[in-house]
Chains A and B, each alone.
Chain A
Amino acid sequence: MAKREPSVNTQNLTAVQIMELDSCSRCGECVNWCPTYDASAQDPGLAPRDKILRWREFMNKSYGLRARLFGPKEIPEEDIEKFKDDVYKCTTCGMCATVCESAINTVELWESMRANLVKRGNGPYGKQGMFIKLIAEYKNPYMANNADRVNWFPKDIKVEDKAEVLYFGGCTAELKQRKLALATARVLNKLGIKFTMLGEDEICCGSALIRTGQYFINDTAKVNAQKNIDNIKAKGAKTVLYACAGCYRASLIDWPRLTGKKLPFKVVHITQFLQDLIEKGEIQWEKSIDKKVTYHDPCHLGRHVGVFEPPRAVLKSIPGIEFIEMERIEENQRCCGAGGGVKAGVPDLAMGVAKTRVEDALETEADLLSSACPFCKRNLSDGRDALGAKQLEVEDVVVLVAEAMGIDLSDAPKE
């Protein structure tokens, strides 16, 4: 009699990731810090430790000692479906990886499990399934005409046809939160930095597809990453600036991995770029921003790649700002709740996490909660509105820089 086929396979998991399942000592530290576990009223299924345990059992039932001797043990389909639901209720913030005593790279692990489940036909979750179709058809996930990325720029904005510096705006800033794109462009113009943009040739960076385990479908994420790289090269850029933490992370880590090649340009977040100019004394402040400001580290900029100091250095250098830290910052920062496809797939959960983070900010009695990612700004603003904390302003660091440089953004399109 032929042996039964395993209920789950190892597609999209690396050999090290399968080993990492065995390295969980179940200390429970991840459970203490997980933002979605907290926001879900401590649903045990969302605890990172529990997810590792269940997938390890799946692996052992399929490929362990008993499976080798007597054939794989069947895993009920509802168990796999429940696991899928739980693994998608994660913002991939990476807090569990930071506190993991076994150093398990959990972010990569969740993403690989998601990709595995998408291949198996279980994933993605809810509206996330639209990403692949939308990005393939519109080159962005917002169903917007891709030509509208920068054609709305007021006439004073000077974007070169070719330049050594390229500003990669990202779908959210160019199509939704245009104040950020406008602020970035005007800051660069005022600093006399000649820069170019991809305009309608820009394609979604792929973050949404990668985080939700859909990157391999039709090779969309890889093809788009390569097109972006080729288009950036064609513009003559040697340095690419990002004001979106998601795009920055995708370009820095995911593009080389997807294409299998080193990037032919330098990837720089706008706050790193500005910090450098401030240190050289090349930024002249014209206005004082007399506010108490706190800063939320975007996961994709902070924990994922280690950019903690530049946004703080920029904020601290702006005249009038009284900078105050929240209790959980940098490596221990609490996620805003929007990442990992949770905003699109499980909006209530995203809102729950956002409210907790806004409460962190309110505890500092800050007037303004700043961040360096449009996606964080959107979710934190939603959390602020849900709490009715109208006194707390939520704004991007670059917008504050523009204001302090005396740049008028009153003509920014409404979000």
Chain B
Amino acid sequence: MDYFAGVSDALRLTFVQVMIMANLSIGIFIIGMYINLKKWGMGSTGYGQEPSGSIFAFPRMLAQQMSEHAHVHNQSVLETFVLDILFQRRILRRSPLRWFMHFTIFFGWMALFVLSLAMFAVEMVHLISAQLGVHALPEFLSPEIFRELLAVPNDIFSYILLTGIIIAIYRRLFVAKVRESTIAYDSILLIGLTVITISGFVADGIRTGRFWGFGIEDPNLAPPMALFHVVISLLFCIAYIPFSKYIHMIAIPLALLANKGGE
């Protein structure tokens, strides 16, 4: 089986497509963030001051707030980063269940993202070394072996992510207070996340013949499904970030840093 994430002679076109999509997504993300920075920069760099309009207004104001003395919670950047951004203790304080939901999504997602980056890096190293005629790479850097190494952690983190998503969907559908306050802004994020996760499971299920393949036994369908998974992941989780509720992944850590972990 010479299918990893689309990098094979037979699927070279797929790899090129993925690279194009990745670059396009990153390009859209950069343009979106530029527009957001311009929007944020319409504010001032100090309380009561005139609007700046400069793209540097936001980083300037952020740096200024981070260096100011706070009267209540004057905690360090490190504490904010570890406890509030990574561990998300502000959510834990308010609702352990919501924290568990969000933390499993965050942790599962980030882990899968890192594993995907690692797989991509190995494939690129493999491709480049083949081009350069280098064959002295360690055995585990072979894409086939590396993919097998990642199989178990991929499974674990995928199920962690899925657990969080199921709780999130349950809340949105069956907790009256949450359901009534849900707007399209919230739904799009969860729908996107669900489609990405399920498509990942299905692509893997078709390839390995496990439950998630839903009985689809034609291995030729695995690459297109994987391609769909990759494309939709890139579009939703990179390109769409600046234009949707996904922006909270960037804005909340910034707000936590600006307000020293909050009141």
Contacts and interface: CB of A to CB of B under 8 A. Distances in A.
Given A63-B42, A101-B91, A11 B177 contact: no
B263 A15 contact: no
Given A103-B261, A331-B263, 10 more contacts: A14-B43, A15-B44, A15-B57, A15-B61, A20-B251, A20-B258, A94-B263, A101-B94, A103-B263, A115-B48
Contacts of A49: 181
B262 A100 contact: yes
A303 interface: yes
Contacts of B177: 28
A104 interface: yes
Interface stretch (B32-40, B141-149, B154-162, B222-230): B32-40
Nearest to B95: A29
Given A19-B58, A19-B255, A26-B186, A97 B47 contact: no
A33 to B, nearest CB: 9
Contacts of B254: 16, 19, 23
B242 to A, nearest CB: 8
Given A15-B41, A65-B32, A305-B71, A26 B252 contact: no
Interface string B5-45: 00000000000000000000000000010011011111111
Given A65-B243, A98-B263, A102-B248, A16 B258 contact: yes
Contacts of B40: 15-16, 18-19, 22
Please tell me the size bucket of the interface on B: 35 or more
Contact of B44 (A14, A59, A100): A14
B262 A97 contact: yes
A64 B186 CA distance: 19
B43 A103 contact: no
A215 B185 CA distance: 35
B71 A252 contact: yes
Given A19-B255, A63-B42, A14 B61 contact: yes
Interface string A279-309: 0000000000000000000000001111000
B58 A16 contact: yes
A99 interface: yes
Contacts of A17: 43
A304 B255 CA distance: 18
B51 A104 contact: no
Number of chain A interface residues as a range: 35 or more
B169 to A, nearest CB: 16
Given A22-B248, A26-B181, A105-B263, A14 B255 contact: no
Contacts of A305: 71-72
Contacts of B255: 16, 19-20, 23, 102-104
Contacts of A102: 90, 248, 251-252, 255-256, 262
Contacts of B48: 12, 115, 215-216, 257-258
Contacts of A94: 263
Given A25-B252, A27-B98, A305-B72, A64 B39 contact: yes
Interface string B65-109: 100000110000000000010001011001100100000000000
B46 A22 contact: no
B197 interface: no
A257 B51 contact: no
Contacts of B72: 303-306
A120 B259 CA distance: 28
A300 B106 CA distance: 36
A113 B254 CA distance: 20
